[in-house]
């Protein structure tokens, strides 16, 4: 099955891509307009490209739509991490992934977001199901691969960030 895999960053993807490639024809999709500031976005995009190159897995780089993303989360800036803002953020990114999957003829799409030990699988999967108009969202729970992702990204010297990317998390608004 052809799978468009939304990746939040190279390190998180490093823990699951090889396994998925043994079961599916995978293309990576880096679409993360939540990441701020722009130089942080570029570091993460570079790490995603390096991983793609090393594994020989194609990657599509989405547009950096930070202002559109800010409009989507407007009014939720002061929400706590893990709250409503995160759900809207997941939905924004997975809707973009679903659109790209339909546009390019992928029947299925998924995300690496569930690898984070601090992110709600339930919220991620709800966002993916809501976004899956015309293509099928495949819900994975990658939490057990988190340690593997830390080790692999370290072995491959991939840039590993210290926050989700959201400017409101970075600024401590939550």
The whole-number mean pLDDT for each consecutive block of 10 residues of the chain, a chain of 174 residues, reads 96 95 98 97 97 98 98 96 95 98 96 95 96 90 92 89 85 55
pTM here is 0.95
pLDDT of 172 reads: 63
pLDDT of 174 reads: 42
Query: Domain-by-domain residue ranges, the chain?
Result: 2-170
End-to-end CA distance of the chain, in Å? 40
CATH code that applies to domain 2-170:
3.40.50.620
CA-based nearest residue to 24, from 100, 130, 136: 136
pLDDT of 123 reads: 96
pLDDT of 131 reads: 96
């Amino acid at each position: 099955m052809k799978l468009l895999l939304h990746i939040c960053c190279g390190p998180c993807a490093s823990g699951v891509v090889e396994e998925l490639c043994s079961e599916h024809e995978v293309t990576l999709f880096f679409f993360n307009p939540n990441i701020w500031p722009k130089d942080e976005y570029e570091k993460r995009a570079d790490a995603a490209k390096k991983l793609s190159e090393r594994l020989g897995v194609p990657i599509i780089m989405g547009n950096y739509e930070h202002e559109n993303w800010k409009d989507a989360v407007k009014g939720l800036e002061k929400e706590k991490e893990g709250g409503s803002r995160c759900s809207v953020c997941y939905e924004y990114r997975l809707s973009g992934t679903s659109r790209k999957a339909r546009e390019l003829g992928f029947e299925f799409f998924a995300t690496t977001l569930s690898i984070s030990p601090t992110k709600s699988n339930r919220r991620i999967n709800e966002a993916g199901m809501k976004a899956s108009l015309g293509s099928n969202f495949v819900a994975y729970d990658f939490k057990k691969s988190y340690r593997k992702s830390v080790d692999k990204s370290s072995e491959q010297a991939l840039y590993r960030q210290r926050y989700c990317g959201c400017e409101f998390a970075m600024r401590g608004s939550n």
